[in-house]
């Protein structure tokens, strides 16, 4: 019996992916980026997704991040099926349930750290007083309580990534998705950021990280490896 036919999501699963495929139709050629991927991630897990380029890890990340829809298969996020939602419904899911951390930080220039962190709350329709208070709390949590009024250009790379992490957390998401979060950072800063992720995970956050760096992946508790659109291994790591 295939898991796919079971319509209810697995208990306590933050993410439940069942036989998901993704095919890009490029006119003449069809590119099968994912060829049937099934896994679950329970709440509180810290998972690294690894694989060489072209393995489908970016495609998987986009699907997990509700930026795209699977061609076939089912995806339950925090208990609800999001595989067939429309653009605006997906936007609402991203707003409520997901937090993104990017390699390039993607902070708004000429905007203070506080305002950057508060941005998701703006789209959630929260009033400015409450937005600022929540964003300030979140910045303090990532250790930037004294940098709230600084603009990205006035912050170091590590500090910028902390701001981005605070922004990812400010809406209290079910899952934090990090795409090569240390790709633009030196090794010492990378360690700091990884320590922050570890700390957040200890606090109960579900974290999924895409990386090609074994050292970085080593901080996660579970590594899913992809190759040619399929999972080739899925193992729990021993923390160093």
Partner 1 sequence: MRLTQYFAEAFAVLAGNKIRTLLTALGLIIGVMAVIAIQVLGAGMSGAIQGILGALSDRTFIVLPNQQQADFTRAAIRLSDLQRAKNEVPNVVDAIPAAPQSLRGRYGHTSRRVTVGAGTDERFAATTPIHYGRKLDPDDIALARHVCVITEKAAVKLGITGDPTGSSLRVGEHRYRIIGVLGKSNEGILPGPVAADVAIPYTTYEREYARSRAIVFVRVLMDDPSKVADTEIAMQNWLKRIKGGRVEYQTFDRKSFSKAIDGIFGAVTFVVALIGAVSLLVAGIGILNIMLVSVAERTREIGLRKAIGATRFQVLLQFFIEALALSAFGCLVGMVLGIAIGAFVNGQFIVKLSGITAPIPWVRSIAIATGFATVVTLAFGTYPAWRAATLDPIEALRYE
Site of interaction with partner 1 (CB under 8 A): 62, 65, 67-68, 87-88, 91-92, 94-96, 98, 100, 102, 104, 106, 108, 110-111, 119-120, 122-125, 127-128, 167, 171
Rounded CA separation 127/133 (Å): 10
Report the residue number, 37 or 170, with the smaller CB distance to partner 1. Answer: 170
Minimum distance from residue 163 beta carbon to partner 1 (Å): 13
Minimum distance from residue 2 beta carbon to partner 1 (Å): 29
Minimum distance from residue 80 beta carbon to partner 1 (Å): 16
Minimum distance from residue 79 beta carbon to partner 1 (Å): 18
Rounded CA separation 77/80 (Å): 5
Minimum distance from residue 110 beta carbon to partner 1 (Å): 5
Report the residue number, 121 or 200, with the smaller CB distance to partner 1. Answer: 121
Report the residue number, 57 or 219, with the smaller CB distance to partner 1. Answer: 57
Give the number of other CB atoms < 10 A from CB of residue 200. 19
42, containing H or E segment:
strand 29-42
Report the residue number, 24 or 214, with the smaller CB distance to partner 1. Answer: 24
Report the residue number, 105 or 219, with the smaller CB distance to partner 1. Answer: 105
Q: What radius of gyration, in Å, describes the C-alpha atoms of the chain?
A: 18
Rounded CA separation 157/54 (Å): 28
Do residues 165 and 34 lie in contact, with contact meaning Cβ atoms separated by under 8 Å? no
Rounded CA separation 127/17 (Å): 35
Rounded CA separation 157/140 (Å): 17
């Amino acid at each position: 019996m295939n898991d796919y036919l079971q319509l209810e999501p697995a208990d306590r699963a933050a993410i439940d992916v069942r036989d998901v495929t993704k095919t890009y139709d490029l006119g003449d050629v069809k590119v099968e980026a994912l060829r049937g991927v099934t896994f679950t991630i329970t709440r509180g897990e810290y998972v690294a997704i690894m694989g060489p380029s072209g393995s489908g890890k970016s495609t998987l990340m986009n699907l997990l991040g509700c930026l795209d829809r699977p061609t076939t298969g089912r995806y339950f996020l925090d208990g609800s099926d999001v595989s067939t939602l429309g653009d605006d419904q997906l936007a609402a899911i991203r707003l409520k349930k997901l937090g993104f951390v990017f390699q390039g930080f993607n902070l708004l220039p000429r905007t203070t750290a506080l305002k950057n962190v508060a941005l998701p709350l703006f789209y959630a329709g929260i009033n400015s007083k409450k937005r600022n208070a929540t964003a300030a709390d979140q910045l303090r949590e990532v250790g930037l309580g004294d940098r709230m009024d600084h603009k990205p250009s006035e912050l170091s790379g590590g500090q910028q990534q902390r701001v981005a992490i605070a922004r990812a957390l400010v809406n209290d998401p079910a899952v934090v998705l990090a795409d090569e979060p240390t790709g633009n950072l030196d090794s010492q800063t990378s360690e700091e950021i990884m320590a922050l992720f570890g700390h957040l995970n200890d606090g109960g956050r579900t974290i999924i990280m895409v990386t090609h760096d074994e050292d970085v992946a080593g901080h996660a508790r579970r590594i899913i490896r992809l190759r040619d659109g399929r999972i080739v291994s899925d193992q729990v790591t021993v923390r160093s």
